[in-house]
Amino acid sequence: GAGVSQSPSNKVTEKGKDVELRCDPISGHTALYWYRQSLGQGLEFLIYFQGNSAPDKSGLPSDRFSAERTGGSVSTLTIQRTQQEDSAVYLCASSYRGGGLETQYFGPGTRLLVL
Amino acid sequence: KNQVEQSPQSLIILEGKNCTLQCNYTVSPFSNLRWYKQDTGRGPVSLTIMTFSENTKSNGRYTATLDADTKQSSLHITASQLSDSASYICVVRGMDSSYKLIFGSGTRLLVRP
């Protein structure tokens, strides 16, 4: 079946602009995660969704970052007033129910470059 | 301090050779440890997952080991192929969360013909 998809695959924006990143999880997966991967760094947890609720937003770096999920499926990550330090690869993952031993399936990521 | 440290940062080997990648972690209490493979421009793909009670797990030419006492894990790749060129990421989950994973920064492996 289809895996996790993300769009756009690449985004170049000017400092100060808002961007919206989209994630389509695997059908039937209730758990969805957003991560950020900066060059040479490990993946950094941003936010976790269980259904449409986000019980853990602790990884969002500032109030310029927000995310929502609708219909228990598609999620969007919005970055307002982008800064150059926001440049990174944003990865989305989903898993069946969010259990401790579940595999998280990753999308290909969105490469964001803020000029 | 990073709770998951990997070594080496990068590695170059010849096709057909074996290699071993290392992972040390300080996450405690510990629940499980995973190894992911990330091809350039792609998202990570799970290779193995081990709980604290498991010592070794294989997935084809990949064999992961875990020593929960010393908090060390290794990923051994046998008879390397060009397609093994990728980043290999060690990921640990602590007991405090059912979903939050802590990622190492990865080892970049290049397999040359």
Structure confidence at residue B2 (pLDDT): 66
- The answer to whether A9 touches A111, Cβ cutoff 8 Å, is yes
Structure confidence at residue A40 (pLDDT): 78
Q: Say how far apart CA B32 and CA B90 lie, in whole Å.
A: 11
Q: Say how far apart CA B30 and CA B68 lie, in whole Å.
A: 8
Q: Under 8 Å CB-to-CB from B23, ≥6 apart: which residues?
A: B4, B5, B6, B33, B35, B72, B73, B74, B75, B90, B104
Identify the DSSP state of A86.
G
Q: Which residues of A touch B99 (CB under 8 A)?
A: 31, 33, 48, 56, 95, 98-100
Facing B49 at nearest CB: one of A40, A98, A101: A101
Interface residues of B toward A, Cβ cutoff 8 Å, are: 2, 4, 31-32, 41-46, 49, 51, 89, 93, 97-106
CB distance A48–B100 less than 8 Å?
A: yes
Facing B98 at nearest CB: one of A45, A99, A106: A99
Residues A27-71 have pLDDT tens digits of: 999 999 999 999 878 899 999 999 999 988 989 999 999 999 998
Which of B78, B38, B41, B87 minimizes the C-alpha distance to B59? Answer: B78
- Kindly list the averaged pLDDT for each block of 10 residues, start to end, along chain B of length 113: 89 98 92 94 93 93 95 97 98 82 94 97
Distance from the B61 Cα atom to the nearest Cα atom in chain A, whole angstroms? 20
Q: Which residues of B touch A43 (CB under 8 A)?
A: 44, 89, 101, 103
